Amino acid sequence: MVRSIVAVCVVCGVAALGAQSDPNKEQSRLENCGVVMEEVLSVAENIPQELLQKAECVIVIPSMIKVAVVVGGSSGRGAMVCRTGKQFNGAWGAPAMYAIEGGSVGFQLGAEATDLVLLVMNTRGVNAVLNTKVKLGADASAASGPKGRAIEASTDASMRAEILSYSRSRGLFAGVSLAGASLRPDNDANLDVYGVKYTARRIVTGAPIKIPESGHRFVDVLQKNAPHNLSTEPESR
C-alpha cells in the first residue's frame, strides 16, 4: 500500500515537473523567433526592406519539421508580432504564439527542418490569421516572397498577396510556397508565455499587453529594422 502511494506521488511529481517545464519551452521558442529574425535580416539577399516596412504583422516559425506520416506535410510552432494601433501603424506590439500544419514547404537540399518567416501585408490578412484557423491560399491569399534589397523583380501575385512567405534551410534563404498549409493561434502556448490564456486577437487588437522578456528580441529587431508602417495601400485601411 505504501509502495503504491509512493509510486502515485512519483508519477504526479514527474507530471508536475513536465507541466512546469512547458512555459520554459514556449519561452525558449519565442526567444528563438527573435534569433531567427535577426539572422535572416543579417544576410545580404534577405527580405526586401520596402516589404518589411509595409508589413503589418510578421510570423516566425523556427525549425518547422516534416511530418513523416503525411506526404509533403509539415508542422511547426512560433510567434506573430503585429504593429499596434487601429490602423496597424504604431510600434510593434506583444507577440502571440502560432502553429502551422499541413501543406508542402519545399524543404531545401533534403533538410529535415526549416525556419519560416511570413509577412502579413494588409489588414485583410491580419483579420484572417486572427481567426481560429486560416488555410493559406484559400482563406488568405499567399505567395512566395521576393528577396533582395529591391522589389523590382516581384511578380504581380506577390504584390497582391495578403501573406508573403520565406524559408531558410541549411543557410539558404528563399521565398517558399505554403499553399494548403493551415495557420492557427496557439492559445495554450500563450498561457505558458503570459500566465493568462490570451487569444491572439486580444493580444493584437486589445489594450496593450506587456511584452514578455523572451519576446523582446523578436520585437526589438522588427522595431529597429522597420519602425514605421510605410504601406500606401488604401484598400488595406
Q: What's the distance, CA 173 to chain centroid?
A: 16
* Residue 107: predicted pLDDT: 47
pTM here is 0.82
Asked whether the beta carbons of 167 and 122 are under 8 A apart, the reply is: no
* Residue 64: predicted pLDDT: 80
* Residue 212: predicted pLDDT: 97
Q: What confidence tens digit (pLDDT) does each residue in 61-96 have? A: 998 875 544 445 567 999 999 999 999 999 999 999
In whole angstroms, what is the distance from residue 93 CA to residue 87 CA?
13
* Residue 154: predicted pLDDT: 53
Beta bridge partners of 80: 59, 96
Low-confidence ranges of the chain (pLDDT < 50): 1-21, 68-71, 107-110, 153, 232-237
Beta bridge partners of 66: 74
* Residue 133: predicted pLDDT: 92
The gap between the terminal CA atoms of the chain, to the nearest Å, is: 68
List the chain domain ranges: 23-231
Side chain identity at 212, as an amino acid letter?
P
In whole angstroms, what is the distance from residue 17 CA to residue 156 CA?
51
